[in-house]
Structure 1
C-alpha cells in the first residue's frame, strides 16, 4: 500500500471520534504513543474542524506539539510561535451571504472569525432540535461566544471567516441546504457528523492543508499519515501518504483509506502507530 516503504515523519490526527474517546478524553495508551513519536522527531499535528482555542487544553499543552491544522484546513499554524503558515478563508462578503442563505432553512448556524466562534443564545437553548449529539453539546457551549446576531457580529468585524457551520434536526432540510450551497460553486462543504454542514473556502480541506504543511517542513506527501472518522476527513484519507480510518468511521472514509484500525474507544490511533510507525 502507498506509504508503506516511506518513513512517516508527520502524523495528522482528527480529534473528535478519532484521537479522543467518546468521553472526549485522551487515553493513556494514545498519550504514550504520541509522546514516543515526539521523542523520535515525528511531527504530531492536531487536524481538526475546531478553532485552536476550542481544542482541549490537554492537547494544546501537549509537549512537542508545534503545528496544528484547524477549521478543516482553513488555517495551518505554528502554535508555539503563534504564526500563521497558511490560510484559506471565506471573505466577509461570502460569510454574510451564507449566513443570509441560512434563513431559508430550519437550521442553527455559527461563524468562526479571527480564531473565535460566534453563536446566538436562541440556538444554545435548544441544541437537541438541531441534531447535535449529546457528546458534542458541552463542547459547543464551552467554545462559542454568545452574540445577539451572528451576521451583525461578522459585519462589524469585517474580517475573513475561517468556517461557518449549519446544524439540522432533519436530514431532508440538510440536503436542501447542501444543494443550495453547492450551487454557489465557491465553497467547500463537508460534515463531521450526520446532521451538520461545514462551509469553508475553496482549498480549505484537511488533505490540502497536510500537503501545505509538509511542503513547509520540507517533507514529501508520502511521509505523512492521517487518522480520521468523519466526512471532513475524506480528503485526508485520499491525500496523506497513509490514510487510516477508525473502526467507528463512516463507510465512505473506510473505503477511501489505506487501513482501517480499531475504534476511538479501543485506542485505534495507538495500535496503528505502534505497528506501522514505531514498529513495535
Structure 2
C-alpha cells in the first residue's frame, strides 16, 4: 500500500490508553513520517493534541481540531468555523431549563462554570485545563470579541440528556452537529465542517483523497473513512463504522493502528 498522507483520530483509535500513545505506535510513526505526512484529526482542543504531536515527532504537520472546525499549522490558523454567538446563547438558555452544565471551547480556550466528574475526566485524559467562569461572563467575552464557539460540551444526567437531545436536534439540527458522546454528554459543533472537509482543505494540488489512509472508531470518523483511499476501523469501533471501513485492525488497546502500519505500509 502506497499513500502520501495518514490521518488518524485520537481517542479510541491512535491512543492506546485514555491519554497517551504507546511506544509501539511512536516507533511505527517514526518509521514512516519522513515519507508519509501524519495528521492528527480529533474533537479535542489544540493543547490536547500538541503533546501527542510532540510524542510522535510530527510537530511540523498541521492538526485538525474540534472535528474540523479549527485547523492549525503551528500557530497559523488555516480554518476556523464558529457556532454563531446567538446560537450559543439560545443553547445556554435551553441548558438552564434542563439543569445541564455547558462547557465552551474557542480556539485553545475551554471555559466551564464549575468542576464536575466529567470535567475532571476531561482534564485527566486530554491534559488540558479549563477556566472556571460564569457562563454570562464567557458570553460577554465572545460578544466583545465578535466570535462564537468552536464546540459546546453539554454535561447533564442520563435523564436530562435523554430529554435534551431531541429538543436540540429539532431546533438546531439543520445548522449544527448534535451528537451523544456518552449517556451524560452531548457535543455540539458547526454542521458545515467535518473531519473530511478539513482534510480536503489541507490537500495540495498534487494530492487527492485517493492518496490518504485514515483510521477511526466513531460516527464522526465515517465520512473520512468512506471517502479516502483506505479507511481502517479499529477493532473497538462501532459496528456501523466497521461496516463502512475497507479494513478492520486490532483494538486501540492492542495498538491496532501501529499493527496495521507495520503490516501494510512497507517503506
1:145 to partner: Cα distance: 1.8
Q: Does 1:139 align with 2:101?
A: no
- Identify the residue that residue 259 of structure 1 maps to in structure 2: 247
Q: Distance in 2 between matches of 1:22 and 1:61?
A: 14
Q: In 1, are the aligned partners of 2:175 and 2:192 still within 8 Å (CA)?
A: no
- Identify the residue that residue 68 of structure 1 maps to in structure 2: 63
Unaligned runs of 5+ in 1: none
Q: 1:224 to 1:194 in 2, by over 3 A?
A: farther
- Identify the residue that residue 40 of structure 2 maps to in structure 1: 46
Q: Does 1:200 align with 2:189?
A: yes
1:135 to partner: Cα distance: 5.6
Q: Does 1:272 align with 2:266?
A: no
> 2:210 aligned to 197, 203, 222, which one?
222
- Identify the residue that residue 100 of structure 1 maps to in structure 2: 93
> 1:177 aligned to 164, 171, 176, which one?
164
Q: Distance in 1 between matches of 2:165 and 2:3?
A: 36
Q: Distance in 1 between matches of 2:94 and 2:206?
A: 41
Q: TM-score, normalised by structure 1?
A: 0.83
Q: 1:61 to 1:156 in 2, by over 3 A?
A: farther
Q: 1:168 to 1:134 in 2, by over 3 A?
A: same
Q: Does 1:212 align with 2:201?
A: yes
Q: TM-score, normalised by structure 2?
A: 0.87
What secondary structure, in the 3-state scheme, does the structure 2 residue paired with 1:64 have? coil
Q: 1:232 to 1:52 in 2, by over 3 A?
A: same
Alignment of 1:26-175 (within 5 A): 26-40=21-35, 42-55=36-49, 57-60=51-54, 62-65=56-59, 66-79=61-74, 82-121=75-114, 124=115, 126-127=116-117, 132=118, 136=122, 138-139=124-125, 142-149=128-135, 150-170=138-158, 172-175=159-162
Unaligned runs of 5+ in 2: none
Q: Distance in 2 between matches of 1:136 and 1:24?
A: 10
1:234 to partner: Cα distance: 2.5
Q: In 2, are the aligned partners of 1:54 and 1:143 still within 8 Å (CA)?
A: no
- The number of residue pairs the alignment matches comes to 262
| Most deviating of 230-239 and 240-249 | 230-239
Q: 1:243 to 1:168 in 2, by over 3 A?
A: farther
Q: In 1, are the aligned partners of 2:10 and 2:40 still within 8 Å (CA)?
A: yes
